[in-house]
Chains A and B, each alone.
Chain A
């Protein structure tokens, strides 16, 4: 079997204002079935996608944040978050439904360079 492709899904959008974040999560789940080397990065407003305490019932739309917690079951356990984006928004690791590894911009730049492909969402 060929080497798995290193693919990074980069989430940069807040969850409900646009469909990007949800679509990104769906794409991650699809790719999870192909046993590739997947990582998921939360940057900019993308960090809001994993915020705890969402209640979308007044909006009548699905809260997809719990789905991030099942990624582990699909062997997708490389979750990263940009320190600067998180801190700028007054968030800490306690605020999230999952536990991403906190990286600074140099670490993220390096990680991105190591990828075969980066998918922006």
Chain B
């Protein structure tokens, strides 16, 4: 299952709930405001590094750019919306909004 998160981890429980139920190995895409979770040098960075031990984490390039976030945590994979669609084609999506 592919987990899609679009809310800021600072204002919403979406990412936490996603992580609670995501099985090991399930990929996670951060898009829209959720990309703030991919930013380096934050209070969430160490948590995200732990998360990436169990899950591939993707962040949408267009959303990073739009928000001026160019320092992402090493290991987070940047993809564009075309890549997003490709992942959705390969997995059953589950949205955490």
A contacts, CB < 8 Å to B: 10, 12, 43-44, 84, 105, 108-110, 112-113, 115-118, 120
Q: Which residue of A lies closest to B95 (CB)?
A: A120
Q: Which residue of A lies closest to B22 (CB)?
A: A109
* Alpha-carbon distance A117/B1, docked complex (angstroms): 10
Instruction: Name the interface size band of chain B.
Output: 10 to 19
B92 at the interface (CB under 8 A from A): yes
- Given A118-B94, A120-B94, A120-B96, also A113-B23 (CB < 8 A): yes
Whether A109 and B21, one on each chain, are in contact in the complex, defined by CB atoms closer than 8 angstroms, is yes
- Given A44-B13, A120-B97, also A115-B92 (CB < 8 A): yes
Kindly list chain B residues whose C-beta atoms are within 8 Å of the C-beta of A112.
1, 21, 94
Kindly list chain B residues whose C-beta atoms are within 8 Å of the C-beta of A105.
20-21
